[in-house]
Structure 1
Amino acid sequence: MSSNIPLAERMRPRDLDGYVGQRHLVGPKAVLRRFIESKNIPSMIFWGPPGVGKTTLANIIAKEVDRPFYILSAVNSGVKDVREVIEKAKSQRFFNTPSPVLFIDEIHRFSKSQQDSLLGAVEQGVVTLIGATTENPSFEVISPLLSRCQVYTLKHLDEKDLVGLVDQAIAQDVELKEKQIAVEEYDALIRFSGGDARKLLNILELLASTADEVVITNKMVVDKLQEATSIYDKDGEQHYDIISAFIKSIRGSDPNGALYWLARMLEGGEDPKFIARRLVISAAEDVGLANPNALLLANATFQSVHVIGMPEARIVLSEATVYLATSPKSNAAYTAIDEALDYVRKTGNLPVPLHLRNAPTKLMKNLGYGKDYLYPHVYPGNFVQQGYLPQEAGNTKFYEPQANAKEKEIRQRMHIYWGDKYKY
């Protein structure tokens, strides 16, 4: 008989030995495993994509350190719920007993006031907080709370882990064991899971439900998933496909395509702050120096979306989307920093030329630090030719202005300064 419990829940590991992935955190002698084994854990935030084991790891930690465990979801909990848990934790505390573990899923969805309500309890050790977030905590968690927590980054599961999960589920799950399931090809399973263990097991469960004898091939996976694809899964593959289409439409200067994909995301319940962050990246990466105002507008959009929220945020997002899509494009700054980084990795730590070094002490001045530096502001046009790269780098050039109106002006100015290095 089929159970109402999903396969992903039935296969949820109960201890560290059964936990899959995140070896950099829970492998032998890894930092988090050491904390757990000592039973002295700090408050912490798990940051990572969906389905990599954030909730599972929090459950395992509470069990391993043998403490009371409270769970709140930021989606349906408010300040009142937080305070109730804190009062309950206070009432159960005795002299030297360790604090209960409070796990908050999707902590990035908590407002500032909700996060503020946690501060005192975390600071005083009333609870040990474990927060889980798919969003960068630097943006989404208030600084006072963030400073009281260790942040651990959880990664997508690798192919070996995912294949192991499939084989383990087929061999051990009480319901799958009753079927004849053979996996001939793993590629499509792995690709569609996107490193998400929960999604992988959901796909496997869907395929297993089609018959008592199932042979899994790449074609079968693709065919079955196309039949079952939802309109917009903001935690799944379509999330990444649609944001990709959105950014590529902006890059391709098509405001209509960009607005369509924006509408798809908003209608599907995508977090508008996620969209706003991607607009900031696009403004720098794709519009760049062809229209420097784009980054200012994108940053203003990011701030506005935080302040006003939906549904009005859709108007701000639309304005920014159209502005970026219709702006001239340049990725010159983006490629320039990548070339500079590549050069640094290849050449190592080249010495700073003496004339560019800081000379705060008499000894440094005697050693020649800062000697022969030419101060541009005392020269005509506030410019004078001198070397700014390490001697070994010679006349290396990373930035190449592109053929748009703004960067043509930049090239002309650089040609006046640097001559044939920037031919005009």
Structure 2
Amino acid sequence: ELNVKVERQALEFIAEVCEGDARRALNALEVGALTTPKNAKGEIVFDLAVAQESIQKKQVNYDRDGDQHYDTASAFIKSMRGSDPDAAIYWMAKMIYAGEDARFIARRIVICASEDVGNADPRALLIANAALQASEFVGMPEARIILAQAVVYIACAPKSNASYLAIDNALDAVKNKRVQEVPVHLKDASYKSAEKLGRGEGYKYAHGFEGHYVDQDYLTINEKFYEPTDQGFEKEMKERLRNLKKGAS
């Protein structure tokens, strides 16, 4: 149940503009109630400014805290993931038109940039984060342009969820398998008595070797969490890792 406080001036404005059209008046009230954020007291204040804005808008089936909110956000994210810039822009437009918080939209863009683009195009996360900061700086309605630029870039970028899968697989290993101890040669040896305890013994400093790489065990178990794809820049990363291992063998 919505806690809506309608100011008299707003009602008078709607009554005057709607000229007896009850359906139009009710639509304006509903649009205003569903698209106006709550104040600190949890109230939706329907004042003259809200009335003037609502009377110009057609009703959009969108509830800020219910299924329509999450369904539209889901369609938005999946459209970016699916490399469809037109669909992604449309679902974002629906959210903006319905009064969605720009920060909510920007956060979804940042998440998608990392989860679905990842290292296939590392610039995607930089652009998404820049859009988050810039949209907060300029505010609406101009923020829509900034958000749209980021959405189009991410939708058109090559896709990889390899980093997302890597951390989830590693978390699963920590949770469900024996937790590994840090190997002696990787332990902190920065304090005075560390050498006496054998901490750090046998560690090979990568920068002291050709190519700034040396074959060394960094994990005591034979687990592979990160599986780079052949998408975008990640293909170069995959090739580099392969060459490092080949040169060390």
Is residue 337 from structure 1 mapped to residue 174 from structure 2 by the alignment?
no
Give the whole-Å Cα distance in 2 for the aligned partners of 1:359 and 1:316.
48
Q: Give the aligned partner of residue 61 of structure 2.
A: 231
Q: Which has the higher strand share?
A: 1
Give the whole-Å Cα distance in 2 for the aligned partners of 1:369 and 1:286.
40
Secondary structure of the 1:320 match is: helix
Give the whole-Å Cα distance in 2 for the aligned partners of 1:246 and 1:281.
12
Contact 2:230–2:238 (CA<8 Å) still a contact in 1?
Answer: no
Counterpart of 1:318 (choices 148, 173, 186) is 148
Is residue 413 from structure 1 mapped to residue 240 from structure 2 by the alignment?
yes
User: What is the CA distance between 1:366 and its match in structure 2?
Assistant: 1.0
Please list every run of 5 or more consecutive structure 2 residues that lacks an aligned counterpart in the other structure: 4-36, 43-58
Residues 342-381 of structure 1: pairs in structure 2 closer than 5 A: 342-381=172-211
Secondary structure of the 1:355 match is: helix
User: What is the CA distance between 1:258 and its match in structure 2?
Assistant: 0.3
Counterpart of 2:226 (choices 377, 399, 416) is 399
User: What is the CA distance between 1:230 and its match in structure 2?
Assistant: 5.6
Q: Could you report, residue by residue, the CA deviation over 1:307-337 in whole angstroms, capped at 9, with x for unpaired residues? A: 1110000000100010000000000000000
After alignment, is 344-353 or 284-293 more displaced? 344-353
Give the whole-Å Cα distance in 2 for the aligned partners of 1:314 and 1:387.
49
Are the structure 2 counterparts of residues 310 and 105 from structure 1 closer, same or farther at C-alpha, using a change threshold of 3 Å? same
Counterpart of 2:216 (choices 386, 405, 422) is 386
Give the whole-Å Cα distance in 2 for the aligned partners of 1:238 and 1:347.
40
Give the whole-Å Cα distance in 2 for the aligned partners of 1:303 and 1:328.
24
Give the whole-Å Cα distance in 2 for the aligned partners of 1:230 and 1:255.
22
Secondary structure of the 1:368 match is: coil
Q: Give the aligned partner of residue 79 of structure 1.
A: none
Residue correspondences, number: 200
TM (normalized to structure 1)? 0.45
Give the whole-Å Cα distance in 1 for the aligned partners of 2:77 and 2:247.
36
Give the whole-Å Cα distance in 1 for the aligned partners of 2:203 and 2:210.
16
Please list every run of 5 or more consecutive structure 1 residues that lacks an aligned counterpart in the other structure: 1-5, 10-73, 77-103, 107-228
Contact 2:107–2:132 (CA<8 Å) still a contact in 1?
Answer: yes
TM (normalized to structure 2)? 0.75
Q: Could you report, residue by residue, the CA deviation over 1:258-309 in whole angstroms, capped at 9, with x for unpaired residues? A: 0110110000000011000110000000010100000000000010111111
Code of the aligned partner of 1:293 = R
Q: Which runs of 4+ in 1 moved over 4 A?
A: none
Contact 2:60–2:98 (CA<8 Å) still a contact in 1?
Answer: no
Secondary structure of the 2:195 match is: helix
Q: Could you report, residue by residue, the CA deviation over 1:399-423 in whole angstroms, capped at 9, with x for unpaired residues? A: 00112131211111101112399xx
Is residue 271 from structure 1 mapped to residue 98 from structure 2 by the alignment?
no
User: What is the CA distance between 1:361 and its match in structure 2?
Assistant: 2.8
Give the whole-Å Cα distance in 1 for the aligned partners of 2:41 and 2:85.
36
Give the whole-Å Cα distance in 1 for the aligned partners of 2:41 and 2:194.
53
Code of the aligned partner of 1:315 = I
Q: Give the aligned partner of residue 308 of structure 1.
A: 138
Q: Which has the higher helix share?
A: 2
CA RMSD after TM alignment: 2.3
Residues 138-177 of structure 1: pairs in structure 2 closer than 5 A: none
Q: Could you report, residue by residue, the CA deviation over 1:91-146 in whole angstroms, capped at 9, with x for unpaired residues? A: xxxxxxxxxxxxx346xxxxxxxxxxxxxxxxxxxxxxxxxxxxxxxxxxxxxxxx
After alignment, is 285-294 or 341-350 more displaced? 341-350
Code of the aligned partner of 1:302 = L
Code of the aligned partner of 1:414 = L
Of structures 1 and 2, the one with the larger relative CO (CA 8 A, separation 6+) is 2
Are the structure 2 counterparts of residues 404 and 335 from structure 1 closer, same or farther at C-alpha, using a change threshold of 3 Å? same
Code of the aligned partner of 1:271 = D
Give the whole-Å Cα distance in 2 for the aligned partners of 1:250 and 1:370.
46
Give the whole-Å Cα distance in 1 for the aligned partners of 2:105 and 2:182.
41
Counterpart of 2:86 (choices 234, 256, 267) is 256
Give the whole-Å Cα distance in 2 for the aligned partners of 1:105 and 1:365.
61
